Structures are given as structure tokens and as C-alpha cells.
Amino acid sequence: MPSLAERYANEFPQSRARFERAKTLFPTGVTHDTRMMDPFPVYVERCAGAHKWDVDGHDLIDYFVGHGSHILGHSAPEVVAAVQAQMAKGTHPGACHDLELEWATLVTEMIPSAERVRFTGSGTEATMMALRLARLASGKPKFLKFQGHFHGWHDAVTVASDPPYDAATVPGVPEELAHVCVAVAPNDLNLVEAALTRDPDIGAVILEPTGGHWGAVPIRGEFLTGLRDLCTRRNVVLIFDEVITGFRVAPGGAQEFYRVTPDLTALAKILAGGLPGGCVAGRADILAYLEPRPGKPKMKHPGTYNANPLSASAGIATLKRIKAGGVCEAANESARMLRNQINARFNASGAKWLAYCDFSMVRVLPNYAGPRPLPEMADNEAPVPFDGDVNRLDGPKNAKQVHALRQAMLLQGIDWWGTAAMTSCAHSTADISVTSGAMQTAIEWMAAEGLA
């Protein structure tokens, strides 16, 4: 029997050929770190709904959903129509336009903390802006983040995003910049309080509100409530990075679901309906640092693609559909079904794997023998595996195992995101049941090679 790697190489020859060329063009051969795969990644030709088709003609059920930006599924008809109509009118007027008003109005109507909005070119730019505004509002240079929380790739936030979490800096980031970031283990209010006491230069706390890397170490609501109280008490700006969770967990993001109001929110992905774009939304008095005012510093903010009309048109079409209801619920329900079906199969076969995570997000965890969730458990109720230990849930991965799982799923027509997945409202019950069956088969194939 050929190995998984051999079967994969044989069944995806067109992708393999393209990667030979890619290696001569791009460092590592890919254009985003998470697309690296041994021996080569898959090249995709077109996408629709919850599916995509690769250059070898495979029909794949997609769980990348545009890195989380497609909660409606790919190429939703209203998004395609809106973008085509705007394309004909112009992609960049170099001026103010009506769509930015409509887009920002939707943000203020949907996101509970959004009194004012400023559009950016990406989620990375949004977290960078939020931290800079927080610095101006607090008058303090440093911020606190949590190990394993990802906030894009600008200098200081890259500290402690990935293991080893205690590294003082990351390659390419000067130490003096890295030191404006203080990182602590997630989900422990005592650690936050101690860090704020130790370091009076910390003026902001930033986090992914459902947990780092969208819930690898899930956060439970009471932590968010406690953190809000602590930040208010200590006069520290609380920033929710809802680049993934915004418009996904609920129409108003995790802050709506958990009823916890941050001072600032970074948004992107679904905000721009699958096109590039982001924004900072939040307290009017903090976003006022973008305005020239007597006796106050003004934060400069240019940006060629801020509030780009194509992104605005896709974003408006997407947000309107989410606001009308049913979208987040459908995506959440698909992921809940997927987690339950996968766990039922793991339980029946005795596989030492667990499917977990909340809302429309799914992760599978190897080597797990602890308490298991009950199928009827709601989001925020299932036990947090390994007592929330960031090193075991989000720590160094076995790359061989991750690639084998990805290949085993691709061989069955499923593009699963390493050990994780996100759903859209376009995933059908048939997609979910095919996927859970494929997961069991994947684990069996991997076990045969000593990788599960």
C-alpha cells in the first residue's frame, strides 16, 4: 500500500508541477506561511459556496473559508453582484464616497462598542492602529497580550504569538520594540493584575476574545467580564481583536455574545466580505485622537486603500445579510454538528483524539484522554481540554502529523486547515457528514503510519 505522502503526490500532479515553478519565485514557494506544506501545497482554480476546485479537478469541501473571511461561503451572489457593479463605477475615487458611510453605519449598528469607525487596509493595520490610539489615550507606551494570541504581523504583537512563548523577541523585531509588549499566559486574571502592578507603563490589554488562534485555548465568558472590570479599575484600554470573531460568533461579534464591551475593537475579514480591508471601532473619545484638537496630539493615518469602495461594496452586501439574521447561527450549527459527529466517531473507535472549540470553529487534538464534551453542550460550556494549558493546546506542533492529516483529508476531498477548521453558512449537512467520516478514515490511515 503506498504511503499517504505517495498517494498525495500522485493524485495532485498539477499542483506539484506548479510548486516547482513557485519555488523559483517565492521564498518557501508560497505567499502565506500557513500555506507551506510538505512536499507541496494545493493550487486552487475556483470557489463557490462551501466548495473549491483545484487545478487537478478535485472538488474540495473548504474549511479555510478565505482565512475566515467568507462566512457566507465563496462568491455569494449578492457579494459578486455588488462588487461587479462597483467595479464598473471605479475602484478608487481618491475621494470620500457614499459606500464608506453605509459601511460604517452598518458597523456602528452591529458592533455594540462602535461609537466611531476608521477603516484600514487589513486586520494587521487595525490592531496596529488600536494599539497606537490606546497609547495616546493612556499616555503609556506598553501593552499586555496573551501567549498564543495572534494580532497580525506588525512588530510588537508578534511577540509570544507562537511558541516558544517566553522568547524575548522574534526574528527581525528589535528588542526595544519587542519590550513594549508584555505577554502572560491566557485566562488568568491574577497574572494580568500582577503584570499591571509590576509595570505601570502598561496602558492597554489586547486579546482574541474567544481565545488565541481563534479558540485553540478557549476563553470562557467570566474571564472577559473579569478582564473588563480589571481594565476599568486600572484605567487600562481594553482592545478586543475581533478580526476573526467579528460578525462570525454573532452579528455583533464576541462582545455581543458575551455582553462585554471593550474600549476599542479591531475588525477585518468578514467586515470586507472576502476583500482586503479592516477597521478600528470604539469609543468616540479615543478615536478622537485621529482629529486635530487644540492642545492634543493627533495620530496620523494615511493609507491608500482605507475604505476602498470595492471592499466596501463586498462588506456592505455581507454585513446586510448577517444583520438580517440566520447566517452566524447556521455557521455555528454546522460547526457544532461537525464537532459532535467527529467526537461520536472518536468515542466509538476509541481514538485518543478530541474535536473541540466554540461557535463556527473546530479543532482536533491528538493524544487526548481527558473529559469529553456532551453533544448537547452549548458554546462556552464544554470542558477546556488540558485545563487550558497553552503549551499543550497551542504549543509546538508535530509538522509531520499536521501535514499527514491535511493530506489524508485532501485525498478524501476535504481542505482542512491543519488541525483546525472554520465553517460558513454554506456548509450543508451532507458536507458535514462526509467530513466527519473522512476524519475517522484519516486518523485510521495516519495510525497505520504511526502518526495518530
Ligand X SMILES: Cc1ncc(COP(=O)(O)O)c(C=O)c1O
- Span from 43-51, 240-248, 279-287, 369-377 in contact with ligand X (CB under 6 A): 240-248
CB of 412 to ligand X, least distance (A): 26
- Helix, strand counts (H, E) of the chain: 16, 14
Based on the shown chain and the rule CB under 6 A, indicate whether residue 219 belongs to the binding site for ligand X: no
What is the rounded CA–CA span in Å between residue 318 and residue 312? 10
- Contact present, 79 and 271 (Cβ < 8 Å): no
- Span from 36-44, 101-109, 119-127, 194-202 in contact with ligand X (CB under 6 A): 119-127
Residue position matching grid coordinates 497609547 = 135
- Pick the binder of ligand X from 15, 113, 122, 436 (CB under 6 A): 122
Q: Which residue is nearest to ligand X (CB)?
A: 123
Which CB sits closer to ligand X, 122 or 147?
Answer: 122
- Contact present, 66 and 274 (Cβ < 8 Å): yes
CB of 297 to ligand X, least distance (A): 25
Which alpha helices (DSSP H) does 117-260 contain, by range?
123-138, 175-178, 189-198, 212-215, 221-233, 253-258
Which positions from 142 through 171 interact with ligand X, judged by CB under 6 A? 150-152
Which CB sits closer to ligand X, 150 or 368?
Answer: 150
Give Rg (Cα) of the chain: 22
- Contact present, 203 and 237 (Cβ < 8 Å): yes
Residue position matching grid coordinates 462588487 = 83
367 SS3 class: coil
- Cβ-defined contacts of 340-345 (< 8 Å, 24+): 340/375, 341/432, 341/433, 341/436, 342/436, 342/439, 342/440, 343/372, 343/373, 343/375, 344/375, 344/436, 345/436, 345/437, 345/439, 345/440
- Pick the binder of ligand X from 113, 124, 308, 401 (CB under 6 A): 124
Site string (356-395) toward ligand X, x via CB under 6 A:
----------------------------------------
Based on the shown chain and the rule CB under 6 A, indicate whether residue 123 belongs to the binding site for ligand X: yes
Which CB sits closer to ligand X, 107 or 432?
Answer: 107
- Span from 93-101, 118-126, 295-303, 444-452 in contact with ligand X (CB under 6 A): 118-126
- Pick the binder of ligand X from 37, 61, 207, 268 (CB under 6 A): 268
- Pick the binder of ligand X from 54, 62, 100, 241 (CB under 6 A): 241
Based on the shown chain and the rule CB under 6 A, indicate whether residue 244 belongs to the binding site for ligand X: yes
Which CB sits closer to ligand X, 227 or 243?
Answer: 243
Based on the shown chain and the rule CB under 6 A, indicate whether residue 231 belongs to the binding site for ligand X: no
What is the rounded CA–CA span in Å between residue 299 and residue 264? 15
What is the rounded CA–CA span in Å between residue 259 and residue 76? 30
Q: Which chain residues interact with ligand X by CB under 6 A?
A: 67, 122-124, 127, 150-152, 208, 241, 243-244, 268, 278
